Amino acid sequence: MVTPAKGDYQSVPITAEAKTLADTWDPAKDEAAGEACKSYGAAAIMRVPGRVHITWQDDNTLKVETDSGMQTRLFHFGEWKAAQGAATWQGDSVAEWRIPGAGGGAGGGGAARAPAKFGSLKVVTTHMRPGYLRKNGVPYSADAVLTEYWDVYKERNGDQWLVVTTLVDDPKYLQLQWATSPNFKREPDGSKWDPTPCSATW
């Protein structure tokens, strides 16, 4: 994988303001300013080539770690309330299971019963620090909202795939919703896990 060329905004419905900003992209300036992680924020991280490690941090918090950029996302279930303070690269994520046949499709997470741990996972992330949708400077703003649907599919040969349908809404930098669907194949163990810090250039 290589960094998209400066000016390569194909398929991203950016606004004129976003194009003007992206045209000034300078990875050396990002590195010097300590902003090398701008393309590893929640709105972009699942499209960064690499591996993910998914575990339960506690009964109501799912933890997703990435080896690329060494990022950690926390998906909160139930009555969790977002913390106050500065926005972060991974933002605040609220999750719910959408269980087939369970009325409106949403299940678990309520105070009346323990959250289920299966089905299609819906995650909505806000309060994100502004970053890049692509490493070549295509921006998303602090007003961006990320909605994801996480689904696992199993092939007849036993292979398992995680498909993350990713929807980004940004009234400042996107003309309309941007949709992508990164895929991850389950590996038998963590032997290929390769933690690598953020980089503005690769």
Domain locations in the chain as residue ranges = 16-187
The one-letter amino acid code at 96 reads E
The 3-class secondary structure across the chain, one letter per residue, is CCCCCCCCCCCCCECHHHHHHHCCCCHHHHHHCCCCCCCCCCCCHHHCCCCEEEEEEECCEEEEEECEECCEEEEECCCCCCCCCCCECCCEEEEEEECCCCCCCCECCCCCCCCCCCCEEEEEEECECCEECCCCCCEECCCCEEEEEEEEEECCCCCEEEEEEEEEECCCCECCCEEECCEEECCCCCCCCCCEECCCCC
pLDDT at residue 1 in the model: 55
67-125 pLDDT tens trace: 999 999 999 999 888 777 899 999 999 999 987 665 544 444 444 445 555 578 999 99
Average pLDDT over residues 175-193: 97
Average pLDDT over residues 148-162: 96
121-134 pLDDT tens trace: 999 999 999 999 99
pTM, two decimal places = 0.89
Does residue 102 or residue 176 have the better pLDDT? Answer: 176
